Amino acid sequence: MNSFTLTLTPTEEACGVTLDKVAELLPKCAFFDNGKLFMLPKGTAPALAGAVARAAFAAPAEFSHLTHDGSPLYRRAVTN
């Protein structure tokens, strides 16, 4: 079994992101497209969104696009 520990980046910490905020927002989000995309609530701050997406994927994540109503979508980051 794999494990993942979320570590906040210095930028996320400077923007006020905490692990408690990540844990609070995570259950309010959803996966789409067979788990390829992760949607967060409209208006989620980018620093918080990135941390929550990394926690959800248990891997690096990157911004994909905004939905028609402005909700941010993230995808698993492509790493070499």
pLDDT tens track for 2-54 = 788 999 999 999 999 999 999 999 999 999 999 999 999 999 999 999 999 99
On the question of pLDDT at 1 being above 90, the answer is no
Angle at 2 between CA 34 and CA 12, to 5 degrees: 75
On the question of pLDDT at 72 being above 90, the answer is yes
β-strand 72-76 against 37-39: which pairing, if any?
antiparallel
